Amino acid sequence: MWLPAAAGVVAAGGMGWAVRGRSASLLAPSVWKGPRSRRAIALTFDDGPSESTPAVLELLAANHAKATFFMCGANVERLPAVARQVAEAGHEVANHSYSHSRLDFRPRQFMRIDLEDAQNAIASATGVTPKLFRAPYGVRWFGLGEVQKELGLQGVMWSAIGLDWKLTGPEVSKRLAAAAANGAIFCLHDGREKQASPDVSSTTGALATLLPELRERGFQLVTVSELLGVPAPRTS
């Protein structure tokens, strides 16, 4: 009797990894780290733009750091000038869906419309059509790989996530500093899903100490495309 039950547990575990595993590419091609040969880290920010994004941009500029911003289309439409400010500052803009809905158990058509709406919103505000995509909550699902291919999007996960929506600034900084390594991709947030005027003080507090430390340790702080050595999308 235990064999079928054990097989079910194994299957469930495998499915969980395919849906949320950072290194999984079964449901949709994705990367979660860059080459170890270069002392560089890619900083990424999800859920923006928000009213707090300019504060993040100031910290990045002060520390000569570039980053990739995975934007929600609904937030871009609400704050197009902030989205444009990110691109004009030389950072990479990327797709984080339009609605920030979990994609598991969603039909392929929903995913296609949601990602395409985000592409259009970001391109309209910034003049850049994203080439990178991060699934909300890191959740992939059946059909997403085909949608990414149709829209020309490379999936991106992360090597380490800051948990900046629930930890304090010092805790976030300590967590990511411990995970710093050649080719790492860090996930932080300049927004909180689709909230207006979110409190991201834990994120900015972490950046104020983390960025100088990483630079002192010899890391270049780059975009995901720069880390992977692929051409970044250009303004149209």
For the question of residue 46 being annotated catalytic, the response is: yes
Q: Is residue 150 part of a domain?
A: yes
pLDDT band at 115 (very low <50, low <70, confident <90, very high): very high
Q: Is residue 173 part of a domain?
A: yes
Query: Up-side HSE of residue 113: CA atoms within 13 Å toward CB?
Result: 7
C-alpha span between 109 and 95 (Å, rounded): 17
Residue 97's domain comprises 2-228
Q: Is residue 236 part of a domain?
A: no
- 234 vs 180, higher pLDDT: 180
* pTM assigned to the model: 0.92
Q: Is residue 153 part of a domain?
A: yes
What is the total count of domains within the chain? 1
For the question of residue 164 being annotated catalytic, the response is: no
Catalytic residue (one of 47, 96, 189, 190) = 189
Do the beta carbons of residue 72 and residue 118 sit within 8 Å? Answer: yes
Q: Is residue 234 part of a domain?
A: no
pLDDT band at 230 (very low <50, low <70, confident <90, very high): confident
- Helix spans in 21-135 (H): 53-62, 73-78, 80-88, 108-126
Q: Is residue 235 part of a domain?
A: no
C-alpha span between 145 and 140 (Å, rounded): 9
pLDDT band at 231 (very low <50, low <70, confident <90, very high): confident
CATH number of the domain residue 43 falls in: 3.20.20.370
